[in-house]
A and B are shown apart, each in its own frame.
Chain A
Amino acid sequence: MLAYRRGEAGAFEALYARHKGPLYRFVLRSVKERALAEELYQEIWMRVIESRGRYAVQAKFTNWLYTIAHHRLADHWRKRGLQLVDAQGADAVGHRSFEPEPRAEGRQDLQRLAAALAALPELQRETFLLHEEAGMTLAEIAAATGATVEATKSRLRYALARLREALGDG
């Protein structure tokens, strides 16, 4: 990011290539609508580009990127008047955007897992996705989401319990 800030366009391309998939999936599985996810995803990168001048090496780029993403999603939820996802809404059209493909795990298990993920409360799902997609530690997730480590740990624990249950392992 510092190289990009100095004017090396190639540095951004390398960053983008490394983070685009995880960030895209994080957004897509957070909002559950592909068109909206693409819009938010682009806005997050635009904020990264616009904020490059303010980037300081205080944390990993990943943490900075997902902090921006968290704020953008929080804005989105606030505008929609949502703090926590409605469990009933998990079966709505939204989660078709990441319909699982048939794999060795078994189609039904994956469908249940996808439905359980979509049904998670927003903060739990966000914590789980930051953990799985961004590979962030509890402390990093806590910093990015403005929560305490204990609260983050609790959210992740609840999320994992529900997902395990969906896989028939609860």
Chain B
Amino acid sequence: MADTERDDKVSAGYRALGGEEPPRALDEAILAAARKRPSRWRVPLSIAAVLVLAVGVTLRMLPQRPEAESVALAPQVMQTPRPAASPPAPARDQAKPAAGAEAAAEVAAADALAESRMRSDIAAKPTSRASAAPTPAAAGAAAESSVLAGKLARAELSPQAWLERIAELRKQGRTREAEESLAEFKKRYPDYRVPEPPR
């Protein structure tokens, strides 16, 4: 400072005007703001969070693939649509847990074989399914029977056990269900010789 511009009397007078200080509340607000400065990790953490979110969204947008294990066990079952008469199996039936892998492989193989036979059968006799279709009047009951037939078909029974179950239905007077189940059985095992029901 060029002290030639200084005037001691003015300076002293000015000092005498008072030494006001900011209110304590203002001090505290400013110091609190200074302490709240962003941490050095804020930016890297933000970037990491955005990356995690982006990866998560991308993974969700990818097409869902079947589990590799299920594909290895029953590739045909996974790719072959089931016939209309048989309701689609629940997902848990299609993707067997690893614990029952051996049994599941056998069932899947049997299912695949049966279905491939059934498809060829349907192709050869296109009207056979139509004739097996329920009448509209009996649609409700037929739907119920179809459900039971489907259940029996998926119950992993041997052909003999399945036929015994059908015979049991007949004994109980559940003829419609027995017929439905038998029709399902014939679709599944067209070459199996089915004994004539007792008259």
Contacts and interface: CB of A to CB of B under 8 A. Distances in A.
Interface of A: 4, 7, 9, 12-13, 16, 20-21, 24-25, 28, 38, 41-42, 45-46, 49, 52, 98, 100-101, 103-105, 109-110, 113-114, 117, 131-132, 135-138, 153, 156-157, 160, 163-164, 167, 169
Contacts, number: 100
Given A38-B26, A131-B1, A153-B2, A100 B34 contact: no
A142 B131 CA distance: 104
A105 B26 contact: no
Contacts of A169: 9
A168 to B, nearest CB: 10
Q: How large is the interface on B (under 10, 10 to 19, 20 to 34, 35 or more residues)?
A: 20 to 34
Contact of B17 (A4, A104, A114): A114
A102 B18 CA distance: 10
B67 interface: no
B172 to A, nearest CB: 83
A16 B21 contact: no
B121 interface: no
Contacts of B1: 131, 135-138
B22 A113 contact: no
A114 B20 CA distance: 14
A100 B20 contact: no
Contact of A105 (B12, B30, B37): B12
A28 B1 CA distance: 23
Contact of B31 (A16, A109, A136): A16
B9 A167 contact: yes
A2 to B, nearest CB: 14
Interface in B1-37: 1-2, 5, 7, 9-14, 16-23, 26-27, 29-31, 33-35, 37
Nearest to A101: B18
Given A113-B17, A156-B5, A24 B22 contact: yes
A160 B12 CA distance: 12
Nearest to B36: A49
Contact of A13 (B5, B14, B26, B31): B31
B27 A16 contact: yes
Contacts of B12: 105
Contact of A24 (B9, B21, B31): B21
